[in-house]
Amino acid sequence: MHNDEIYLGQRGRAGGMAPLAGLRPLAAGKVRDLYELDAEHLLFVTTDRVSAFDVVMGEGVPHKGRVLTAIAAHWFRRTADLVPNHLVSTDVDRIPGLHGDLRRQLLGRVLVVKRTQPTPVEWVVRAYLAGSGLAEYRRSGNLWGQELPAGLALASALPRPLLTPTTKDDNKDLPLTLAEAEERVGPAVFARARDASFALFERASAELAARGLLLADTKFEFGLLPSGELLLIDEALTPDSSRLWPAADWCPGQNPPSYDKQILRDYLEQCGWNKKAPPPALPRDVLARLGQRYVELAERLLGHLPEGVHAPSSGPA
């Protein structure tokens, strides 16, 4: 485990974050810490923190931050011809004032990005029935007003990918109908974000299929520059924002093993936790297995280990 890492601990708050090499802290999310570089650029630092059921755990997952950074950067580069994005650099040496141990700890964790005004909507695209989509289908027979055939089961393929937007909230994202999402952002931004979401999903689905993976669903975030240009922001197609299944294990009616936090969710469901803070202490073997799952996905997608990551051991950490 990497308990000496300064970016492994529990979630902070903007007011309690320490300056990083003199940079002004702006916010601490469930996974990422956000700093101001200058008037036009921000610094994202991706930590090893992990959350489940909207609660941040007290322990971090080995290598998680570096895996998420490498995968997000991969997709930003692979999709820039479809939709412009906010990525400027992943080079830790672009950050002034870093040296020695601090530079080592940040290696492979940073995204230097353009500053935008995020839309107040998260743009979720689904191609298979799972998670909250499955719950909504069982309740209403559709996906928030979008019709579906009767008789679909867990992990069933949808007739076509559907956009199922949600609110963007620090605590709990709530589903929106397409009309509600359009009302929030306006018709012009809605049309651009909708078309970009489907184009990104189609590109990613094809590339993942070539690696034996199914993209069941994912969420995108977009932001606007002062010029009005729409950019893909935050992260893209990572295991924290996507449901990824091995194609060989997919069977409608069964829950495929996924490359996300399912190992953690399964443990928490079985341990009797009430899903409220504070979270229970996590066994080291659960964290090690989860970390190994993240690294396996990165190797499968990228063809190599992310910067700063070594191959995980086969046994408990």
Give percent of the chain with pLDDT exceeding 90. 79
Which residue has 């799972």 as its token pair? 130
Task: Count Cβ atoms within 10 A of the Cβ of residue 17 and give its class: 0-12 exposed, 13-18 middle, 19 or more buried.
Answer: middle
- What domains lie within the chain, and their CATH numbers? 14-116+271-302 (3.30.200.20), 117-263 (3.30.470.20)
pLDDT of amino acid 165: 98
- Give CA angle at 120 (110, 55), nearest 5°: 60
247 vs 213: CA distance, rounded Å:
5
pLDDT digits (tens, 9 = 90+) for 225-282: 999 999 999 999 999 999 999 999 999 999 998 898 889 988 999 999 999 999 999 9
pLDDT of amino acid 107: 93
pLDDT digits (tens, 9 = 90+) for 120-173: 999 999 999 999 999 999 999 999 999 999 999 999 999 999 999 999 876 678
When pLDDT is cut at 50, 70 and 90, the band that residue 18 belongs to is low
Alpha helices, H only, 141-237? 178-185, 187-209
pLDDT digits (tens, 9 = 90+) for 79-117: 999 999 999 999 999 898 888 888 999 999 999 999 999
Please state, rounded to an integer, the average pLDDT across all residues of the chain: 91
Which pair of structure tokens corresponds to residue 314? 């086969």
- Asked, as a colleague might, if the bond just before 239 is cis with ω within 30 of 0, I would say no
